[in-house]
Amino acid sequence: MSELTRISLAEARDLLGKKELSSKELTEAHAAAVEAARPLNAFITETPDRALAMAEASDARRARGEAGLLEGIPLAIKDLFCTEGVLTTAGSHILDGFQPTYESTVTANLWREGAVLLGKTNLDEFAMGSSNMTSHYGGAENPWRRSDSNAKLVPGGSSGGSAAAVAARCALGATGTDTGGSIRQPASFSGIVGLKPTYGRCSRWGIVAFASSLDQAGPMTRTVRDAAIMLRAMAGHDPKDSTSVDRSVPDYEAALTGDVKGLRIGVPKEYRVDGMPAEIEAIWQQGIDWLTAAGAEVREVSLPHTKYALPTYYIIAPAEASSNLARYDGVRYGLREAGDAPLVEMYEATRAAGFGEEVKRRLLIGTYVLSAGYYDAYYNKARQVRSLIARDFAEAYNHVDLLLTPTAPSAAFAMGEKMDDPVAMYLNDVFTVPASLAGLPGISVPAGLSADGLPLGLQLVGRAFDEETVLRAGGVLEAAAAFDAMPAFVAA
């Protein structure tokens, strides 16, 4: 494996800036890594030719003295972002052959800043899942292996392909989307950094929608600094997304002062859930100790409605999804089955064949909770609880500046585990979902290894639009953890 794929995004940027490296060289190294990593099934579509063309164009721009924030940096893009002229699948059979004629705002922002597209990464179908196993294209594989077993592990989900690609050194960074933990949980499982920004920070325009009030794009990288650099390029107000927020985008990298003295960190007591593995408890305590040692004040806080977060999420997200996915009807694009049959049969055949089991499960749940007679008991109640959950956070932030929690209740599990128990799968999101419901920014930073050698992440959740504090404290955790373990796939 080329040394060029082992450096960080920031290091690559600096080398490119000093003209000690061309984007072409960097991109070729990564395109080769993408190819070499095919056994991981991290990519649904590889775009090496486009990558090379973009890299050459980038080198030409740099030669003219023009350079964006990500000039010449090869990235992987979750296959939920629409990319002009490049197959966009959302991990679903129902979008067969769909090549958008448009570019999502976030990816357009990345290209505007000079980034290079390596390919489109695997994901749970329509971002519904925590394992990447619901993808129509098969699960992506985690480049990590347990120290005592050769079992193939999931990279987490739904942004599993992006996490695997970054962890396997195929890309310097990748985009993810996070609805209930889909950036943070796979980051934790794959030993990388994943940042879900505040809802409204990045435009949702051109991202295949799962649950509109929750979906948010964010960077997945190997370092906190890289996440800061990438977020700055991704973020910004977009008049095409009514829920994107018109606030200037700060220089997030400048926020990485390494100083958390006096910062008040809350540890929510309700997150000490029954049955939490001891090593998760331990890594959490380790995080508390690191931040304390760095001069932060850690104190316990209460988020009393935490226990309702997961059920609330699993009402609101499917409800929105049941409506968002109605457009996949076989009429205008993607799959059409039984095209000569009467309309309703065509609908039924197309959607029966086009959607996988998990998507169907959620569409049924979502349809049910919005139905006449059940709406108030489920959807409306969930909306009310959601506002209580948001209030919990607001109350906590009267006393602290950040919250520290584990990212996920376990390390990566094996492919095939939990597959027959949806609820066990949903429990993966128990620590990430509350911040999603409240729209708050959260980061997962690799903090250590489990007893069997798998990465474990810690999560920091901040105030709305305070990604700077999240990143600053994330940088301190990162430095203290000095996480330098390599996944088996890379080390091999």
Partner 1 sequence: MLIEGDTGTWEMVIGLEVHAQVISEAKLFSGASTAFGAAPNSQVSLVDAAMPGMLPVLNRVCVEQAIRTGLGLKAHINHFSVFERKNYFYPDLPAGYQISQYAHPIVGEGTILLDLEDGEVREVGIERLHLEQDAGKSLHDQDPYKTYVDLNRAGVALMEIVSKPDLRSPAEAGAYLRKLRSILRYLGTCDGNMDEGSMRCDVNLSVRRPGDPLGTRTETKNVNSIRFVQQAIEIEARRQVEVLESGGTVVQETRLFDHRSGETRSMRSKEEAHDYRYFPDPDLLPLELDPAWVAEIKAALPELPDAKKRRFMEDFGLSAYDAQVLVAEQANAAFFEAVLQGPKGRRDPKTVANWVTGAYFGALNASGVGLAEAPVDAEKLGGLLDLIADDTISGRIAKDVFEEMWQTGRPAGEIVEAKGLKQITDTGEIEAIVDKIVADNPDQAAQVAEGNQKVVGWFVGQVMKATQGKANPGVVNKLLKGKLGG
Place of tokens 């994901």: 123
Q: For residue 219, what are the β-bridge partners?
A: 175
Greatest C-alpha distance within the chain:
69
At 437 the three-state DSSP class reads helix
Q: Cα 335 to chain center, whole Å?
A: 27
Q: What angle do CA 289, 287, 298 make, to 5 degrees?
A: 60
3-class DSSP state of 460: strand
DSSP character at residue 253: G
CB of 238 to partner 1, least distance (A): 9
Alpha-carbon distance of 181 to 473, in angstroms, equals 19
Q: What is the DSSP string of 62-126?
A: HHTT---TTTT-EEEEETTB-BTTB---TT-GGGTT---SS--HHHHHHHHTT-EEEEEE--SGG
Long-range contacts made by residues 369-376, C-beta under 8 angstroms, separation at least 24? Answer: 369/315, 369/318, 369/319, 370/319, 370/322, 370/323
Residue ranges binding partner 1 (CB under 8 A): 81-82, 88, 90, 95, 98, 100-102, 104, 204-209, 211-213, 239-243, 319-320, 322-323, 325-327, 329, 331-333, 343, 347, 367, 370-372, 375, 379
**Encoded amino acid at 352, one letter:** A
Torsion, CA 89, CA 437, CA 219, CA 252, rounded to 10: 150
Give buried/exposed letters for 159-180 (b at 16+ CB in 10 A, else e). Answer: bbbbbbbbbbbbbbbbbbbbbb
- Asked whether the beta carbons of 279 and 450 are under 8 A apart, the reply is yes
Q: How far is the CB of 121 from partner 1 (least distance, A)?
A: 16
**Tokens at 399, concatenated:** 């006393």
DSSP 146: -
Nearer to partner 1, 290 or 347 (CB): 347
Cβ proximity to partner 1: between 147 and 371 the closer is 371
Give the shortest CB-424-to-partner 1 separation in angstroms.
28
Q: Among residues 260 and 319, whose Cβ is nearest to partner 1?
A: 319
Cα gap 344→347, rounded to integer Å: 5
Q: What are the catalytic residues?
A: 78, 158, 182
Burial tier of 19 (Cβ tally within 10 Å: 0-12, 13-18, 19+): exposed
CB 50 within 8 A of CB 29: no
Q: Which is nearer to partner 1, 256 or 370 (CB)?
A: 370
